[in-house]
Chain A
Amino acid sequence: MLSVSNVHKAFGDNEVLKGVSFSVEKGDVVAILGSSGSGKTTLLRCLEFFEKADQGTIKIGETQADLHTASRQKIHELRQKTSFVFQNYNLFNNKNAIENVELGLTKGHGVSKVRAKEIARRSLEEVGLADRFDYYPSELSGGQQQRVAIARALAVEPEVIFFDEPTSALDPELVGEVLETISKLAKKGVTMVIVTHEMAFARDVATKAIYMDKGVIVEQGEAKELFTHPKEERTRQFLSRFLEGYDYVI
């Protein structure tokens, strides 16, 4: 349903992505793992056209585009089939929770105001924020903001939602509520691609896992398989810290 092939991206001399390809089926939850600087976030940003890749193609459903030369129209068309959850939430600061969700529906997808309000209410209830409709982002905690962001991404009924380290900016005690929300979506069959450092979460929720290092995919496959029987030495090394059961990070 989503297929990405041969993505290349360099910032100056620094080659961040060196030919990344993968595909996602409907209902898949794909976890992209890897240490910092391995190109995970850049990959996701290229797929949403926030960065212009040097080369590569993306296909969502029947819509195909070149990541380097896609026209404005094409980019817009593809963005309407996806949505994005950011590390630092990026809620519209001048809109309250329910308006944040409505805006994408009314402006981005031409849904009527009445219908948008209805969908927005339902989405916010789904992420457990039924009592925070008229709160502005400045009045919400990080976890609540991220859940509004998830509701906003969900409301437009995208074919796939990209998550860029959705819990990395959160206080440890708030991580749980966001992960729980994402797990709920996974159970509902929402297709998601998640860049994350939360290993236990990736193992338990993801159906597929991709391990990236230095701009290439080292290994990809069934999440359970990759976590329990990694084939590549590099993957094993990366996972070892997690598998040995350290539960603290300094």
Chain B
Amino acid sequence: MNVDWKFVIEAFPQVLAYLPVTIELTVVAMTISLIIGTIFAYINFKKVKVASQIIRTYMSLIRGTPIVLQIFVIFHFGPYLLTEMFQKLNIQADVYSIKPIYYAFLALSLSTTVSIAEAVRAGLESIDKGQFESGLSVGMTEGQVLFNVVFPQAFTTAWPVLGNILVGLIKSSSLAFMLSVVEITGYARILGGGVLRYFESYICVFFIYIVVIKITELIMKKLEETKLVYRRRQC
């Protein structure tokens, strides 16, 4: 097999130019999922009556379907549903002016939220209820105990899993191409298709993913060490 390395070198900067799109997709979807996932985790952890049942149903629905299918549903029914909703609420807006990337944020957040909710819940379950009680006993409110004592520890426990989820999300962001959002994988496909040099353009994406994910792993590791300082020595 002939690899045209010259083409690889030429294509590399062009593909790399779409890295910000990949990063944007990852960062936005991760942020949304972290916020909603943590709320879901807490509701499930506290076993809030109706709310936790609704969330569990949502979670098994999302977990039970492939992400590709979720994207199809969003792509085909999303605009239709929005049009209906806008009409009902009398909002004058053109649904088709909504940028595809917003649908991609939604699509990627759906399943990531579920993973994060479970990771954070596992973290919460690992904390002794004595941590809550001692906080309450010195006059703190439940919210204060949660944010100063419980969540910091829960996230430390969940951290390695959250790292995995983040790395998974970086890779899943390539699915946004199905929603016509062009990120690195999408652009490599376009570029390769134009001159029938798929293999070369995919080599570029391969290296970009490897490096980006390695860097992410290193950052997560470094952060984990600083978070773990309180467990440093056992007497």
Seen from chain A, the residues whose Cβ lies within 8 Å of a Cβ on chain B are 48-50, 76, 79-80, 82-84, 86, 88, 90-96, 103-105, 107-109, 136-141, 149, 152-153, 156
Cβ of B153: which chain A residues have Cβ within 8 Å of it?
93-94
For the residues of B in contact with A, the DSSP-based class is helix
Q: Which of A48, A49, A50, A139 sits near B233, CB closer than 8 Å?
A: A139
**In-complex Cβ contact of A93 among B137, B141, B144, B230 (8 A):** B230
Is A136 within 8 A of B133, CB to CB? no
B140 at the interface (CB under 8 A from A): yes
**Is A83's CB under 8 angstroms from B131's CB?**
no
> How many A-B contacts are there with CB distance less than 8 Å?
89
Enumerate 24 A-B pairs (CB-CB under 8 Å) in ascending A order.
A48-B133, A48-B137, A79-B136, A79-B137, A80-B139, A90-B130, A90-B131, A90-B133, A91-B134, A92-B131, A94-B230, A96-B230, A104-B135, A105-B138, A107-B148, A108-B144, A136-B231, A138-B230, A138-B233, A138-B234, A139-B232, A141-B235, A153-B138, A156-B138
Q: Are A153 and B230 closer than 8 Å at their CB atoms?
A: no
B138, B156, B231 pick with most chain A CB within 10 angstroms: B138
- With A50-B136, A107-B140, A108-B139 known, 5 other A-B pairs at CB within 8 A are A48-B137, A82-B137, A88-B130, A93-B230, A152-B138
B: number of interface residues (CB 8 Å): 25
A-facing residues in B135-186 (Cβ within 8 Å): 135-141, 144, 148-149, 152-153, 156
- For residue B229, CB closer than 8 A to chain A, the reply is yes
List residues of chain A with CB within 8 A of the CB of B133. 48, 50, 84, 86, 90
Residues of A within 8 A of B234 (CB): 138
